[in-house]
Amino acid sequence: MAVGALDNKNVIAPIQVSDGYWKGVLRRLMRDPVTMGALIVILLLVLMAIFAPYLAPADPFKSSMLRRLRPIGTPGFPLGADELGRDMLSRLIFGARLSLFMGVTPVLMAFVIGSGLGIFAGYVGGALNTAIMRTIDVFYAFPSVLLAVALSGALGAGIFNALVSLTIVFIPPITRVAESVTTQVRNRDYVEAARASGASGLTIVRVHVLGNVLSPIFVYATSLVSVSMILASGLSFLGLGVRPPEPEWGLMLNTLRTAIYVNPLVAALPGVMIFITSISFNMFSDGLRSAMDVRA
Amino acid sequence: MTGTAAPIIDIRDLTVTFIGGRKPVHAVNGVTLAIQPAEVLALLGESGSGKSVTLRSLLGLHPPGRTSIGGSIQVAGKDVMALSGRALADFRGKTVSMIFQEPLLALDPVYTVGAQIAETIQRHEAVSRVKARARALALLQKVRIPSPERRLDAFPHEMSGGMRQRAMIALALACNPQILLADEPTTALDATVQIQILLLLRELQRELGLTVILVTHDIGVAVEVADRVAVMYAGRIVETGPVREIIRNPRHPYTQGLLASRAHGAMTGSRLDAIPGSPPDLADLPPGCSFAPRCKHAKATCVETAPEIRSVTADHWMRCMLDAEAAE
């Protein structure tokens, strides 16, 4: 810049104009190819689940004794056929519906209940906090797989019971994260500053605690979706979740396991789907964490 | 003490004790202070001398379960200790507001500066969102933030330290309080920005007729803005008087030590005078003068009995048994 320009009163220093928190998060997400890739995979899976009837080349329930365990690439069966001669591709497409549902729903319910409980415990503190958190710790003591199996076993098989038991499994870890983040936020200067400017307890929780606490809990919850999917698959595998002949990836893995020596590639396909979905959710949650960090 | 007008802040024999730990910590031990309207008082002292605790008591910010508070606090005709719930929330921010040491921590990182100011305005007054935003803009102009229209939508982390502190001041002035409490407002800032913020505070104080209590450990800051200084040590006010008087004629050995330890005016290469020892443990205070263990003039009586407050001149008071004249 010419020296003379410095005297010009019209020169305005460029100011970085911020365009809102969520726009900033979105902009940072867009710049991250791995996260965007994971997001695209997740969106494709969701679209596949929604439009399953239009996408599936065959009826996923139609069995045929003559076409059992066809290998991948058989004409009419692009991904082979399962142990009852049903089209694998169609079953995998339809399976996305239940598998995604079982992956997302328990986490969503646990997110609502767990963050409510954790924020309450963290904000109130004292003896009530101890009571809530120690109760939560009791659940935390069990390995999550064991707890899920035990709960579904006690409640009985079925999709609804599997959802309930998975929700119960995810409440403790989410509550814990919510409680620890809230305890940190509660002691921050801006909470005291808000109190010093006349904010009521409710306003502080609603505006300052929720505003600062929800995104870390949300990021943590997204990372649980893959765990939930795997656990739900496990429950189905054990015969505690989805019941045959309903297509669900975990259940398909279970029923195909007898064919692992006959046609290992076909038997592995549901596992591949579970793997792709869970790794996409994990990578997305990782990217989301860094994109949401305001002070980065 | 000074003048005849009714004081706007009248603290009598305030004691604040933090309980709940292994030993109760006596953070404030009998502070009596009267401040006139539009007066600027600097509370001076080192870390842990109880200055911030005194300030927070004025807003009733100490959690009741873990603190026991004695004495009385009257602010603008209200008994602060009797306030609770809704009345206390209305009092905070509207009558008395506070600015904090580190503006980056005292501003909520997930909301824009404009949103935070507007929120405070709407909390106390029934105004529309648009009007509150317009007032927020006017406040940012008042604290002279460059391009205030754009700063309204900036997040705290997008601003510089000095600008953040200006925004913090704007936030504190949002509801036209009569009294402004400043807890080390310049400690976290660069030296060049410090003076700008102090000048701004002084200017706003004159313009709005604010009563200000400024907590600081920096005598230079106190001299710059205050009318009167109160020096605190171990939860007590050991000396109080007009700034000039305290600087030119300090009578309490602690104040003398503080002034001697400044770098200002010292010869290059010479060692700075430091006060030997360290402040007493607030959980285990000595029965006599709390400064006695570090005082070079201390006598046997100093260790045994706590000194009473006594006047040096009409508006210069101190808490020391020794005749300061003889001590020198």
Question: Using one digit for the tens of pLDDT, what is the confidence trace for B51-82?
Answer: 888 888 888 888 877 888 888 888 888 888 88
How confident is the model over A7-65, as pLDDT tens digits? Answer: 444 444 444 444 566 777 788 888 888 989 999 999 999 999 898 888 878 777 777 77
Q: Do A190 and B155 touch (CB under 8 A)?
A: no
Share of chain A above pLDDT 70, in %: 92
Q: Is A18 on the interface with B (CB under 8 A)?
A: yes
H or E element in which residue B117 lies: helix B113-124
Task: Specify the pLDDT at position A153.
Answer: 87
Which residue among B61, B112, B151 places its CB closest to the CB of A196?
B61
Residue B1 has pLDDT above 50, yes or no: no
Arithmetic mean of pLDDT over chain B:
84
- Which residues have a Cβ under 8 Å from the Cβ of B212 and sit 6 or more positions away? B39, B40, B41, B179, B180, B181, B182, B201, B205, B225
Residue ranges of domains in chain B: 9-95+177-327, 104-176
Inter-chain CB proximity A212 and B109 less than 8 Å: yes
Residues of B in contact with A203 (CB under 8 A): 123
Of the two residues B256 and A108, the one the predictor is more confident about is: A108
Burial (CB count within 10 angstroms: exposed 0-12, middle 13-18, buried 19+), residue B285? middle
* CATH number assigned to the domain with residue range B9-95+177-327, chosen from the 4 options 1.10.1610.10, 3.40.50.300, 3.40.50.720, 3.80.10.10: 3.40.50.300
Question: Hey, are the CB atoms on B90 and A195 less than 8 Å from each other?
Answer: no
Q: How far apart are CA A60 and CA A91, in angstroms?
A: 5
pLDDT at B14 over 60: yes
Rounded CA gap, B240 and B232, in Å?
Answer: 9
Count how many pairs of residues, chain A against chain B, have C-beta atoms within 8 Å.
86
Q: Which residues of chain B does A212 touch, with a Cβ-Cβ cutoff of 8 Å?
A: 108-110
Q: CB-based contact (8 Å) between B90 and chain A?
A: yes
Residue B268: predicted pLDDT: 67
Mean of pLDDT over chain A: 82
B155 touches chain A (CB under 8 A): yes
Which residues does chain A have within 8 Å of residue B171's beta carbon, measured at their own beta carbons?
193, 197
Burial of B107 (0-12, 13-18, 19+ CB in 10 A): buried
Whole-angstrom Cα Rg for chain B: 21
- Tens digit of pLDDT for each residue in B145-195? 888 888 888 888 888 888 889 999 999 988 888 899 998 888 888 888 888
Report the C-alpha gap between B84 and A151 in whole angstroms.
47
Distance of residue A124 Cα from the nearest chain B Cα, in angstroms: 12
Q: Best of A197, A209, A214, A215 to disrupt the B interface by mutation (most B CBs within 10 Å)?
A: A197
Global ipTM: 0.78
Contact between B157 and A198 using a beta-carbon 8 Å cutoff: no
d(CA B117, CA B164): 13
| pLDDT > 80? residue A160 | yes
* Dihedrals phi, psi of A271, to nearest 5 degrees: -65, -40
Query: What is the largest distance, in Å, between two alpha-carbon atoms of chain A?
Result: 89
Dist CA B111 CA B132 (whole Å): 15
Write out chain B residues lying below 8 Å of A295, CB-based: 109, 157
Residue B4 backbone phi and psi in degrees, to 5:
-115, -15
For A190, which of B97, B105, B123 is closest by C-beta distance?
B105
What pLDDT is recorded for position A5?
42
CA-to-CA distance for B296 and A238, rounded, in angstroms? 82
- How far is C-alpha A36 from the geometric centre of its chain's CA atoms? 16
Q: Could you tell me the maximum CA-CA distance found in chain B, to the nearest angstrom?
A: 67
Half-sphere exposure of A82 (CA within 13 A, CB side): 29
Task: Using alpha carbons, list the distances in angstroms from residue B84 to A210, A293, B28, B60, B81.
Answer: 24, 37, 22, 9, 8
B46 CB near a chain A CB, below 8 Å? no
The pTM (predicted TM-score) of the whole model is 0.76
Q: What are A229-249's pLDDT values in tens digits?
A: 888 888 887 888 787 788 888
Q: Residue B214: beta bridge partners?
A: B42, B182
Q: Inform me whether the C-beta atom of residue B149 falls under 8 Å from chain A C-beta atoms.
A: no
Q: How confident is the model at residue B282 (pLDDT cuts 50, 70, 90)?
A: confident
Q: Quick one: A268 exposed, middle or buried, by C-beta within 10 A (0-12, 13-18, 19+)?
A: middle
